[in-house]
Structure 1
Amino acid sequence: MEDKKSIEYKIAELKAEYIRLQNDLEKLEYVDGKLSPLEQQIAGIEEELRTLNQKLREL
């Protein structure tokens, strides 16, 4: 079982990664690059954040 601090740490890491990917996505949109791998990564991070936030609420 994960403790509150480790879940909060994972959430912070995922948020930082999410922001980085969003910035990359905006750059790719600007130069008409391929978006789907980045969009899939972002969707995965969103899902993981939902799961971790749910765990945090249950503690």
Structure 2
Amino acid sequence: TGTEEEQAKNFQWGLHRSTLNHLMCMSYTNVAQVSNAARNYEILNERDDDDAERPDKR
């Protein structure tokens, strides 16, 4: 319940800690923006993790 901005702020708190830390310094106007930003951040982190596991990619 609440405005879209309040919902977005509450949704941020349910995210994985590393994602949450990255996203808390930004403001969002709705849950979709938070969700999209979190997904993009996690995809980038997965790619970084994959590169770290595969030294032949360096």
Shorter-chain TM-score: which interval? 0.3 to 0.5
- Greater percentage in helix: 1
Higher RCO (Cα < 8 Å, 6 or more apart): 1
Q: TM-score, normalised by structure 2?
A: 0.44
